[in-house]
Amino acid sequence: MDLWLIGELALTGALVGLMYALVAVGIVLVYKTSGVANFAQGAIAMSGGYATWAIAAFLGLPMWVAIPLALVAMFGFGMLVEHAVLRHMVGQPVIMIIMVTFGIEIFLRGFMPGTFGVAVKRLDLGIPQAPMFLGEMLINRAYLVGGAVSAALILAAIVLFNSRAGIVMRAVSDDQGASWSVGIRVERAIAVAWGLAGATATAAGILWGSVQGIDWSLSLLLMKALAIAILGGLDSIPGVLLAGLIVGVCESLATGVIDPLVGGGTRDIVASVIIVLTLLVRPYGLFGREHIERV
Amino acid sequence: MLYRRAGIRHTSYPKERQLWPLPFDRYLVTAVALFLLAAPFLVDRLYLVAYLLPWIIWSMAALGLNLLMGGAGQIHLAYGAVMAIGAYTSVHLVRAGVPFEFALVAAGLMSAAIGMIFGVAALRVKALYLAMSTLAMQYIVDFVISHSPAISGGTQATIQVPPVSFLGIALEGDLPMYYFALAVCVVVTLFMLNVQRTAFGRALAAVREKDYAAEVIGVDTFKYKLLAFWTSSFIGGVVGAVLVVSYLRSVSPDQFHIELSVQIVAMVIVGGLGSVLGSFFGAALILFTPIVLNNLVGALASGLGIAMSADLRAHIPLMLYGAMIVGFLVLEPLGLAKIYDNVRNYFLVWPFRHARR
Amino acid sequence: MRLDRRTFMAGTAAAGLVGFGKPALAQEKVVKIGMPMDFTRVYTFVTAEYSQGHRDYLTLVNERGGVNGHKIVADITDHANDIPRAIEAYERMKREGAVLIDPLSTPVARALVPRALEDKINMITTLSGRSDAADGTAFPYVMPASPNYWTQAGILIDYFRQQDKDLKGKKIVFVHIDTPFGREPLPILQALAAKLGFTLQTFPYTPPGNDQAAIWPQVRRARPDWVVFWGAGVGQTTALSEAVRNGLPMDRLSSSVWLSESDMEVVGKDAVKGVIKFEACAGGRDPKVIQAILKDVVGKGKGAGPEGKVGTSYYNIGVMMAAIVAEGVRKAFEKAPNGPITGPWLNDGLHAIANFTADGMLPGITVTKEDHQGGGKGRVARWDGGKFVPQTDWFTANQDLVWAEIRKYSAEFKKTGK
């Protein structure tokens, strides 16, 4: 096992992990403001990919126009989901709300391929495919761009949470009743969180879609995103950044080091085990806030 | 009217404590039981083999998980893996010549033993964090099964279930298999109906509501959480064995993946957490809605000659299915059992709404 | 009234609507076949095109008067790769008199094998299902009628041998999805490695394979002489794009039969020029059958889907399987013109298929009581940037090893089965 390979795997893994983290950001945003675990995030990412493709294909627009349009559209879509469905679920048991988002996931899984066709769609961002070497390490340009964009967006989310709008959202996540009483528009804050979740999911859908093509399997990003969100602590955005890096690097190294030993794809397992062990030490994730339970 | 509840008071404790204190409920249960017993002679084979049998089996699975999720409030995303352990244990034991009666119990014990390890995570983490921990177990069990040729059966990864007999009756053909599944289901259902009335059930309820509080009033949460996982996994293992023997007839790893776990969780939630009746409703809804919608859309499209693309036609049932789950839960977040309960409550004292229940 | 009570009491009132709106074909002379398939879950990459080809060919046959005056009617439904749904579809089709089932899904085929054998209903497992079903003595009613994965691997390796003259000391890398399907070719590859003296290195990736970022750097570093990648759907496109980004030589990259034009389009048609794959039937629009479909079916507005898909790889596989089924029906009528139309009747017909080429589209399929694979012939085709161009004639290779493996598992099946 040479160091170049380890280095290359770690770097690729880190970049891929950032791309997963971008899906997870939406889950955290929604959980942080409204306490809802959003199981539809994978399907929303898929929808974002489809939307971008549809705008580019049907309106004949170039990518740099189609992407912002899709982001705006999906921001609106996120708000619509909140308005049409989740607003009615306020105060219901958490597990029911999870199931509702799961229903949305199933609906979108039917709607998008049903409307636009099941055949895999090509989404070309114009990232050159030729290999780029750094010493003996190959830098995968697609992942380099993807990772960079993801990191930038996640950092932007962190900055947002320190702005005025972010403080409003933080207040809502702290105590909805108290926020209400000081004049914060709680519904709007939650709607914005869903809108942002829709937009970040779209960004992730576009990045992943350019790697694998756009079809329903983009919705499978949910599992990995959920794992990252939970490892980071469900209500922490910096946690997502770190957890994405950890999961990505661990998975990548597991593929390189452990797979040959056991003769099977251990990626998911190694990642899950690391998460479980972390949770046993820190039951609320790396940066999650501990709930103080009162009897 | 149907229930004639208004004005009827129980005069002794045993009467009040019956499983079904109201005569109408008893008649209803008897009627359903009689129907299920006579079903092979009443309904077409298609409905027996492709609807009733899977419904019974999946309902049992939902019941087993409901003990954990509804009874003790612990999320479990690896129930499919628990069932896989039971399925493989029983099939391998039967192939080794062990009588099926023992193999069935051994399947339960094996699942319970491994399933309890899953529960250890529950001692430390909660809610979604627990969901993630159990998910890890699902991946690990999947991996171990499909990567051990000794368990999964080599490259083809499919093992045929050899002919078995239960209590002297050969489980061959539709009838014995149906009655076997039904018998196990009755046992599981009766257990679930009664467990809520025992000290064990009440302790679980205390843990579910608030584990700190339970500890304060002297419930050993450590013990009861593990016991809940043990019992639930035991049922899961038995159901896994019933599933492969009487329904699938061959066992391969992909039958027990995360999809199955999620499906059963959905049944429990849509049916109603902690409700025995809800498990049956939920299983029926989740299992059959896609089939019925698919047949319906197919029949409508070809019957009315609506022109649509093949992709759209294939996906409309999926959309409707998702929309239905959302719709049901938005309208009644406590599940199908609650909807049934609302109707029942309405009729309990109907038409004397002002009467005390 | 049994029907009323049944539908009412089973509580599946809507299921009664299944019988509703059924076309009044019962009076006509028909041969019914069931096509429960996965349109919405795992096999989406192939099902739509396969089904389109299948339906178009049946339309062609029926428009020309059917077989012996009988129309072949396919009942198509979605089983979403879900076993209970597939069993429901199977039982319903059986009740409606289907004599043949084509589930096009490996897990479903595996789950239906015991039932099909018991009910004597023919099951087509096109390039899927159990590989050992090629042994007709153990699986009389299961018909792959197409080269199984062991044969595909054997033929690919033989093609490498033809190219390099000698594989001794060469290195072949096998990248596969980590499921039973992906691991299936391993025994054959290992046996061939020992026999021909090449080194085999395997890289499993976790399903569904949308992230193979950590696999391909290792493949690149292994500096392989040949790469075989084995997956389906999204795993294939991801594998190809990773291979491109890692700068692997495209003309040393090869795949099983599951690689289509649309996969190439997703990765970029020109970037993957030179990739080779196994072919079970001729692709493109050149075969006479496809020309006939274009003229008589699609040209008359009776096509089952978008015209652009006609002649794609999976479309042609659908045509191939429909042609084999129609040929089986034809042979069955030759043997017993008056039926009755049952599973065993069609089974006799399918077993009588001899050297069937569907006007030059197929390699010459011969089904016997022993060999359900149909001869195990195929060829290797290379992507030239626009289409797959055949590189070899139809041939078969390493069948001794393949059959040793088939018999090993079918013997096991016979032992534990009924």
User: Hey, is the C-beta of A94 within 8 angstroms of any chain B C-beta?
Assistant: yes
Residues with Cβ within 8 Å of A4's Cβ and at least 6 positions away in sequence, in order, are A135, A136, A137
User: Hey, is the C-beta of A283 within 8 angstroms of any chain C C-beta?
Assistant: no
- Is C13 a residue whose pLDDT tops 50? no
CB contact under 8 A, C130 and B249: no
| Chain C residues with beta carbon closer than 8 angstroms to that of B310 | 39, 48, 51-52, 304-305
Note which residues in 150-189 of chain B have CB less than 8 A from chain A: none
CATH T-level assignment (fold) for domain B13-348:
ABC transporter involved in vitamin B12 uptake, BtuC (1.10.3470)
User: Tell me, what's the pLDDT at B306?
Assistant: 65
State which amino acid sits at residue A139: I
User: Tell me, what's the pLDDT at A295?
Assistant: 62
State which amino acid sits at residue B266: A
User: Tell me, what's the pLDDT at A198?
Assistant: 95
pLDDT confidence band for C6 (50 / 70 / 90)? very low
| Chain C residues with beta carbon closer than 8 angstroms to that of B259 | 82
Nearest C-alpha in C relative to A143: C213
Q: Do A13 and A244 form a contact (C-beta atoms < 8 A)?
A: no
CB contact under 8 A, A268 and B324: no
pLDDT confidence band for C5 (50 / 70 / 90)? very low
- Is B1 a residue whose pLDDT tops 60? no
User: Hey, is the C-beta of A121 within 8 angstroms of any chain C C-beta?
Assistant: yes
Range with the poorest average pLDDT among A282-291, B191-200, B258-267, C79-88: A282-291
- What token pair was written down for A92? 């219901």
Q: How near does any CA of chain C get to the CA of A90, in Å?
A: 32
pLDDT digits (tens, 9 = 90+) for A90-114: 777 777 888 899 899 999 999 999 8
Characterise A91 by phi-psi region: left (phi > 0), alpha (psi -120 to 50), beta (else). Answer: left
User: Tell me, what's the pLDDT at C17?
Assistant: 39
pLDDT above 90 covers a percentage of chain B that reads 32
Q: How near does any CA of chain B get to the CA of A198, in Å?
A: 19
CB contact under 8 A, B127 and A111: no
Mean pLDDT in residue range C220-246: 91
Mean pLDDT in residue range B337-346: 83
- Candidates A135, B291, A123; CA nearest to C80 is B291
- Is B305 a residue whose pLDDT tops 70? no
Helix ranges (H only) for chain B are 13-16, 23-42, 45-47, 53-66, 79-95, 100-122, 127-147, 149-152, 174-195, 199-209, 211-216, 221-242, 258-271, 276-304, 310-331, 336-348
pLDDT confidence band for C374 (50 / 70 / 90)? confident
CB contact under 8 A, B312 and A115: yes
User: Tell me, what's the pLDDT at B357?
Assistant: 53
Characterise C209 by phi-psi region: left (phi > 0), alpha (psi -120 to 50), beta (else). Answer: left
Name which of B143, B317, B333 is nearest A92 (Cβ-Cβ): B333
Range with the poorest average pLDDT among A1-10, A141-150, B194-203, B272-281: A1-10
CB contact under 8 A, B250 and C113: yes
User: Tell me, what's the pLDDT at C1?
Assistant: 31
pLDDT confidence band for B242 (50 / 70 / 90)? very high
Q: Do C42 and C84 form a contact (C-beta atoms < 8 A)?
A: no
Name which of A93, A106, A272 is nearest B318 (Cβ-Cβ): A106
Range with the poorest average pLDDT among B56-60, B129-133, C343-347: B129-133
User: Tell me, what's the pLDDT at C33?
Assistant: 93
Give me the count of residues in chain C. 418
**Ordered structural domains, chain C, with CATH:** 26-147+284-377 (3.40.50.2300), 149-279+380-403 (3.40.50.2300)
User: Hey, is the C-beta of C8 within 8 angstroms of any chain B C-beta?
Assistant: no
Return the bridge partners of C227, or none: C173, C253
CA gap B168, B185 in Å, rounded: 19
Q: How near does any CA of chain A get to the CA of C327, in Å?
A: 30
β-strand pairing of C199-205 with C171-177:
parallel
Range with the poorest average pLDDT among A252-256, B96-100, B335-339, C32-36: B335-339
User: Tell me, what's the pLDDT at A155?
Assistant: 93
User: Hey, is the C-beta of A208 within 8 angstroms of any chain C C-beta?
Assistant: yes
Q: Do C75 and C25 form a contact (C-beta atoms < 8 A)?
A: no
| Chain C residues with beta carbon closer than 8 angstroms to that of B318 | 40, 80
pLDDT digits (tens, 9 = 90+) for B206-221: 988 888 888 888 888 8
Cα C76 to Cα B145, B220, B314, C71, C92: the distances in Å are 34, 56, 10, 15, 12
- Number of CB atoms found within 10 A of residue A6's CB: 15
3-class state of residue C227 by DSSP: strand
| Per-domain boundaries in chain B | 13-348
User: Hey, is the C-beta of B222 within 8 angstroms of any chain A C-beta?
Assistant: no
Mean pLDDT in residue range C6-31: 46
| Chain B residues with beta carbon closer than 8 angstroms to that of A234 | 128
Angle at which helices C2-9 and B23-42 pack, to 10 degrees? 130
User: Tell me, what's the pLDDT at B23?
Assistant: 77
CB contact under 8 A, A100 and B126: no
CA gap B76, B248 in Å, rounded: 24
Name which of A5, A120, A251 is nearest C45 (Cβ-Cβ): A120
Nearest C-alpha in A relative to C80: A110
3-class state of residue B229 by DSSP: helix
CA gap C4, B355 in Å, rounded: 38
Chains that touch B (3 or more CB pairs under 8 A): A, C
Note which residues in 246-265 of chain B have CB less than 8 A from chain A: 258, 262
Q: Which residues of chain A are under the pLDDT cut of 50? A: none
Q: What is the mean pLDDT of chain B?
A: 86
CA gap A159, A171 in Å, rounded: 16
| Chain C residues with beta carbon closer than 8 angstroms to that of A9 | 214, 217-218
pLDDT confidence band for C89 (50 / 70 / 90)? very high
CB contact under 8 A, C246 and A138: yes
| Per-domain boundaries in chain A | 22-220
